[in-house]
Amino acid sequence: MLLTTCHSAFRQAQGSLRLLRTFKQQQRSAFARLLSSLAVLEQREGKLQSASLSAVTAAQKLGGQVTGFVAGSGVRLVAEEAAKVKGLEKIIMIENAAYDKALPENYAPLLAENIKKEQFTHVFAGHSAFGKNLMPRVAALLDVQQISDITAIEGEDTFVRPIYAGNAILTVQSSDKIKIITIRGTAFAAAEANGGSAEIINGVDPNVQIKTEWLSEDLAKSDRPDLATASKVVSGGRGLKSKEDFDRIILPLADALGAGIGASRAAVDSGFADNSLQVGQTGKNVAPQLYLCAGISGAIQHLAGMKDSKVIAAINKDADAPIFQVADVGLVGNLFEKVPELTEKLKQ
């Protein structure tokens, strides 16, 4: 008797468990239809920053409707450009010069208001200086724990991101209603700039008055491909000895390959190259087709920024340098001889 009771109780429990599961599945598919993502697009002086188009790709991977967001003065042209981006169904545009420099003090409340109004479930931005500065402030205003620098999307609430300078890969599940996410640009290709026809609408503008002023900027000007998105990167380290040598040895090789230029922290700290060229945990993350480095030992902080490159090639005089443990092609030798030789032979 007792056994039967237990048994039926067990069956009942099993039954309700099954019911619960079906319910959850239904709920999930209903939710999938309601997924609505916002891709925050960075603009500078009326130009859409193509690097932020990776946010559109990430949002598309998730599924559901994808809306783009642009704010600034004279932003109609940017919005029209963004409207052509494949995968975007709508563009929210806010014309107001107050947002030109994307100061988080007013840009964050602006974003938060628009996210609340349109009830987006997911908000994506690049983990660039723009996204890093802005998105955590937005997350705090919405009482959300942001998920930074993701490299993969496993489900509507589950995301993958590197921690400990890329030495461990964390999979996290978010319980927040709104998911605020920054993405690693090199993990998501930029959405195609053509093929879309999104509707442009005006967003809400809370017009928060702030005391922060933007004073000036000093950006390194270069005709070379941008480091973060270049398909080839040539990078130099402490082994270059001086800025003159860095310029004399590394620049011609980069030109021969049509490559962007990177540097290790040691090279940047010693003044061989500009800070913005630093590759690594505290600098940029790159994942080009070819990462060719000379005079870089391969400290874990540097590897964090480049070990997802398709092909890694290294020239170093120390045969035991850790860089050779990850390099697909290693050449032990004096870079002052080998790099110019390589440059000459590549030109032919």
Partner 1 sequence: MPTPLKILVPIKRVIDYAVKPRVNKARTAVETQGVKHSMNPFDELSIEAAVQMRERKNPPVDDILALSAGPAKCVDVLRTAMAMGADRSIHVEIPDAGQGQAELEPLGVAKLLATVVAEEGRNLVILGKQSIDDDSNQTGQMLAGLLGWGQATQASKIEFDDGDRVSVTREVDGGVDTVRFPLPGVITTDLRLNEPRYASLPNIMKAKKKKLEKKSLSDYGVDEGRRLKTLKVEEPPPRKGGGKVDDVDGMIAKLKELGAI
Burial group, residue 211, by CB count within 10 angstroms (0-12, 13-18, 19+)? exposed
Question: HSE (CB half, 13 Å, CA atoms) of 218?
Answer: 2
Tokens matching residue 159:
């995301």
Question: Per DSSP, what are the bridge partners of residue 123?
Answer: 38, 180
Q: Cβ closer to partner 1: 54 or 281?
A: 281
Phi-psi bin for 124: left (phi > 0), alpha (psi -120 to 50), beta?
beta
Could you tell me the smallest distance in angstroms from the CB atom of residue 344 to partner 1?
A: 9
- Positions in 301-340 near partner 1 (CB under 8 A): 301, 307, 310-313, 315, 319, 324-333, 338
Query: What is the residue type of 204?
Result: V
> In the set 1, 168, 194, 223, which binds partner 1 (CB under 8 A)?
168
Task: Give the separation between CA 140 and CA 79, rounded to whole angstroms.
Answer: 27
Task: Give the separation between CA 100 and CA 96, rounded to whole angstroms.
Answer: 8
Q: Is 282 annotated as a binding residue?
A: yes
Query: What is the residue type of 97?
Result: A
Residue 264 near residue 237, CB atoms below 8 Å: yes
Q: Is 280 annotated as a binding residue?
A: yes
Q: Cβ closer to partner 1: 9 or 169?
A: 169
Give the dihedral of Cα atoms 265, 270, 276, 277; nearest 10 deg.
Answer: -70
Contact stretch for partner 1 (CB under 8 A) within 56-64, 102-110, 199-207, 241-249: 102-110
Q: Is 264 annotated as a binding residue?
A: yes
Could you tell me the smallest distance in angstroms from the CB atom of residue 182 to partner 1?
A: 9
Q: Cβ closer to partner 1: 46 or 330?
A: 330
Q: Cβ closer to partner 1: 194 or 216?
A: 216
Tokens matching residue 301:
């902080």
> In the set 290, 293, 294, 335, which binds partner 1 (CB under 8 A)?
290
Q: Is 323 annotated as a binding residue?
A: no
Question: HSE (CB half, 13 Å, CA atoms) of 329?
Answer: 10
Q: Cβ closer to partner 1: 167 or 197?
A: 167
Task: Give the separation between CA 135 and CA 179, rounded to whole angstroms.
Answer: 11
> In the set 129, 189, 201, 204, which binds partner 1 (CB under 8 A)?
129
> In the set 7, 210, 242, 334, which binds partner 1 (CB under 8 A)?
210
- In the shown chain, the binding pattern of residues 251 to 270 toward partner 1, with x for contact by CB under 8 A and - for none, equals ------x-------x-----
> In the set 170, 189, 201, 204, which binds partner 1 (CB under 8 A)?
170
Tokens matching residue 305:
């920024």
- The residue count for binding partner 1 (CB under 8 A) is 90
Phi-psi bin for 164: left (phi > 0), alpha (psi -120 to 50), beta?
left
Question: Is 274 one of the binding residues for partner 1 (CB under 8 A)?
Answer: yes
> In the set 39, 59, 75, 228, which binds partner 1 (CB under 8 A)?
228
Annotated binding-site residues read: 238, 264-265, 278-282, 295-302, 316
Which residue ranges are tagged as binding site for FAD? 238, 264-265, 278-282, 295-302, 316
